């Protein structure tokens, strides 16, 4: 990990994770909120697969992803890994103030984040009640996202799961029809998040390409050719 400031061990342990990225935070927070948070933030950089914090570590910070992505996961005793969520550029995580991290956070690729000390965030909330309300709003949306993911795992086919995930990435990037989007995680990461095998993810990606639903310019790039049609296929709800 590289830092623009001299950080102690608590800073390296970094953000308090509730287990899921706080979806929609980038658009729901006012510009004044973002500027106030950035004044107390610390810019950090992590290499691919570097651990940001581990399950059970003391939680003292929250994060906003600037570039790259974070995977929030649990490593099971039998060696398996379950990914709970990905925190994407513009997303926040860790605004549920827990004493200990419930998940491990790892960089899926080269990662740049801004870390916010919890105590200073709390002080900002006292001085800026409107910001506190907006933070509470997107925490509620995050909980809804958890429910949506559980429904997806229980009801969607493998094709629908993969396409729904690609739609999330494309929507987060503000992509339009045919616009190339970076895929900041590998096929195994996708499989562990979607409850599939890596072979199934690879097969579905190939099938989507053959049917011209997506194009795959490079290994870590994709484009959805018809966003509206893809949304209809998976029953997308924003």
Reported as a single tens digit per residue, the pLDDT across 66-100 is 999 999 999 888 888 889 889 988 888 876 667 88
Number of domains in the chain: 2
Say if 49 falls within a structural domain: yes
Say if 212 falls within a structural domain: yes
Q: Which of 143, 177, 198 is the last residue of a domain?
A: 143
Say if 98 falls within a structural domain: yes
Q: Which of 79, 113, 143 is the last residue of a domain?
A: 143
104 lies in the same domain as 164: no
Say if 15 falls within a structural domain: yes
Mean per-residue pLDDT, 210-222: 96
Mean pLDDT of the chain: 83
What pLDDT, on a 0 to 100 scale, did the predictor assign at position 200? 97
165 lies in the same domain as 122: no
93 lies in the same domain as 177: no
Residue 184 scores a pLDDT above 50: yes
What is the CA 33 to chain-centroid distance, rounded?
A: 20
128 lies in the same domain as 174: no
What is the rounded distance in angstroms from the CA atom of residue 144 to the CA atom of residue 213? 28
Q: What percent of the chain has pLDDT over 90?
A: 45
User: Cα angle vertex 225, ends 187, 206, to 5°?
Assistant: 35
Q: What domain range includes position 35?
A: 2-143
Cα–Cα nearest to 92, from 27, 13, 176, 187: 27
| Three-class DSSP category at 173 | coil
Residue 128, judged by CB atoms within 10 A of its CB (0-12, 13-18, 19+), counts as middle
What pLDDT, on a 0 to 100 scale, did the predictor assign at position 3? 62
CATH code of the domain containing 176:
1.10.10.10
pLDDT digits (tens, 9 = 90+) for 97-149: 678 888 999 999 999 999 998 888 888 878 887 777 777 776 677 667 666 77
CB atoms within 10 A of CB 217: 9
Answer yes or no: are the C-beta atoms of 117 and 47 closer than 8 Å.
Answer: no
Between 147 and 222, the more confident residue is 222
Structure tokens at 122: 């709390």
What pLDDT, on a 0 to 100 scale, did the predictor assign at position 156? 87
Q: Assign 52 a pLDDT band (cuts: 50, 70, 90).
A: very high
- Radius of gyration, CA atoms only, the chain: 18
Residue 100: strand pairing partners: 58
Residue 229 scores a pLDDT above 70: yes
77 lies in the same domain as 170: no
Say if 189 falls within a structural domain: yes
| Three-class DSSP category at 107 | strand
Say if 52 falls within a structural domain: yes
127 lies in the same domain as 172: no
139 lies in the same domain as 227: no
Cα–Cα nearest to 168, from 217, 109, 236, 112: 236
82 lies in the same domain as 122: yes
Structure tokens at 142: 């995050």
Between 43 and 141, the more confident residue is 43
Q: Which of 143, 174, 207 is the last residue of a domain?
A: 143
120 lies in the same domain as 162: no
What pLDDT, on a 0 to 100 scale, did the predictor assign at position 127? 82
pLDDT digits (tens, 9 = 90+) for 119-129: 888 888 788 87
Residue 105: strand pairing partners: 53, 72
Mean per-residue pLDDT, 173-199: 94
Mean per-residue pLDDT, 153-173: 90
Answer yes or no: are the C-beta atoms of 1 and 50 closer than 8 Å.
Answer: yes
């Amino acid at each position: 990990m590289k830092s623009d400031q001299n950080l102690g061990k608590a800073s390296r342990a970094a953000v308090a994770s509730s287990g899921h990225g706080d979806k929609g935070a980038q658009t729901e927070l006012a510009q004044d909120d973002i500027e106030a948070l950035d004044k107390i933030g610390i810019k950090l950089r992590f290499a691919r697969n570097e651990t940001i914090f581990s399950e059970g570590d003391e939680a003292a910070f929250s994060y906003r992803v600037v570039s790259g992505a974070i995977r929030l996961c649990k490593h099971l005793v039998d060696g398996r890994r379950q990914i709970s969520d990905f925190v994407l550029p513009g997303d926040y995580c860790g605004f549920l103030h827990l004493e200990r991290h419930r998940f491990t956070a790892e960089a899926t690729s080269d990662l740049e984040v801004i870390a916010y000390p919890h105590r200073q965030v709390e002080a900002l909330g006292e001085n800026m009640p409107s910001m506190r309300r907006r933070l509470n709003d997107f925490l509620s949306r995050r909980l809804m996202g958890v429910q949506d993911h559980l429904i997806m795992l229980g009801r969607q086919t493998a094709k629908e799961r993969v396409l729904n995930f690609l739609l999330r990435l494309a929507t987060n990037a503000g992509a339009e029809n045919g616009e190339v989007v970076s895929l900041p995680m590998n096929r195994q990461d996708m499989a562990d998040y979607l409850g599939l095998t890596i072979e199934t993810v690879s097969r579905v990606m190939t099938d989507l390409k053959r049917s011209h639903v997506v194009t795959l310019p490079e290994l870590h790039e994709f484009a959805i050719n018809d966003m509206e049609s893809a949304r209809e296929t998976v029953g997308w709800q924003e």
